[in-house]
């Protein structure tokens, strides 16, 4: 995809801004965790937290994408079942520089949903039955490009690190408050003094860390939208898909009559930006992308019909669709 020099600079500025926001949020979460450790146990607490963090990142085995998909009830799609999506995914991975093509899975659900799991070397993408049926092939390309962008930039690893910081912060907050309760008799007798600012920090620490984690999730979603537009040269395709997905979401009546119908999002990416904000950003990119960049996508789409799913999901007694 070729773009004029000035337009390409603007795209780089978008990417740089998103990258800087992610780095700053990670540094903030790590620094905030370090401050808590220092206030509780001094320099020894900081060293302990650094050791725990590095150990968790280095030795915590990542779940296989296949097992994660089993947790969501997703079924693997054999190559050739949906040939259009197979070839589109290969095309996107080639443009993204991914050596390994993610495995496609089908979520037997009437709720429109898609997500990716894994790393650059071992990954999978799940699409719900409803999404394949209701989105056009052009819109499905935008969705797949968004998920490929998550995999390309190791977003799940980044969000896993943020989740680790958030959990450690919550643990420290619990430990600090437990120590306060244990020393309450001494406080009442006036035998020890306490720093009330520390108590306030311990109380609000989990909330602050969670907000930073959710902000990071939104930043990574914006970045994935941007990179999806760059991969396809067609920001409108993803924007249209987001609009269709938003309109398909049920209202309050669905939550009352059919609770639990929705497919849950992966916990590490549990908060997304407002759809209208994402659509506005994607539409703004139309002026930044060269019109010639969409030609390879147009040529690819003309080769295929819309992929068809050969079954209708049915609701089982225990609540799953298939």
Residues with a catalytic annotation lie at 147
Helix/strand number for the chain, H first, E second: 13, 4
Three-state SS at 211:
helix
Contact assessment for residue 105 and residue 111, using Cβ atoms and an 8 Å cutoff:
no
CA distance linking residue 281 with residue 133, whole number of Å: 26
DSSP 294: G
Give the angle 17-20-23 at the CA atoms, nearest 5°. Answer: 155
CA distance linking residue 138 with residue 96, whole number of Å: 18
Virtual torsion, Cα 263, 264, 270, 275, nearest 10 deg: 20
Beta bridge partners of 126: 105, 115
Task: State in Å, rounded, how far the first CA of the chain is from the last one.
Answer: 40
Give the angle 159-126-153 at the CA atoms, nearest 5°. Answer: 35
CA distance linking residue 17 with residue 227, whole number of Å: 13
Strands 103-107 and 75-76: antiparallel
Contact assessment for residue 40 and residue 172, using Cβ atoms and an 8 Å cutoff:
yes
């Amino acid at each position: 995809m070729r773009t004029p020099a000035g337009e390409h600079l603007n795209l780089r500025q978008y990417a740089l801004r998103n990258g800087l926001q992610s780095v700053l949020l990670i540094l903030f979460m790590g620094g905030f965790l370090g401050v808590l450790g220092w206030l509780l146990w001094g320099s020894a607490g900081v060293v302990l937290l650094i050791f725990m963090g590095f150990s968790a990142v280095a030795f915590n085995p990542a779940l296989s994408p296949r097992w994660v998909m089993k947790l969501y009830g997703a079924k693997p799609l054999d190559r050739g079942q949906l040939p259009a999506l197979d070839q589109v995914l290969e095309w996107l991975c080639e443009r993204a520089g991914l050596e390994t093509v993610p495995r496609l899975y089908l979520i037997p659900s009437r709720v429109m949903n898609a997500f990716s799991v894994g790393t650059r070397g071992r990954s999978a993408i799940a699409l719900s039955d409803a999404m394949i049926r209701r989105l056009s092939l052009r819109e499905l390309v935008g969705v797949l490009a968004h998920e490929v962008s998550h995999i390309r930039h190791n977003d799940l690893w980044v969000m896993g690190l943020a989740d680790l910081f958030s959990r450690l912060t919550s643990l420290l907050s619990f430990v600090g408050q437990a120590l306060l309760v244990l020393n309450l008799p001494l406080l009442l007798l006036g035998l020890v003094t306490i720093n009330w600012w520390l108590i306030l920090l311990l109380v609000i620490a989990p909330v602050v860390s969670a907000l930073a984690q959710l902000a990071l999730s939104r930043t990574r979603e914006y970045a994935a939208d941007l990179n999806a537009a760059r991969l396809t040269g067609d920001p409108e395709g993803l924007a249209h898909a987001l609009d269709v997905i938003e309109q398909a979401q049920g209202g309050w009546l669905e939550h009352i009559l059919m609770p639990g119908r929705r497919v849950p999002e992966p916990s590490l990416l549990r908060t997304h930006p407002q759809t209208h904000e994402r659509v506005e950003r994607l539409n703004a990119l139309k002026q930044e992308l060269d019109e010639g960049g969409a030609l390879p996508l147009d040529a690819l789409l003309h080769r295929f019909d819309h992929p068809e799913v050969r079954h209708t999901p049915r609701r089982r007694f225990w609540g799953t669709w298939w």
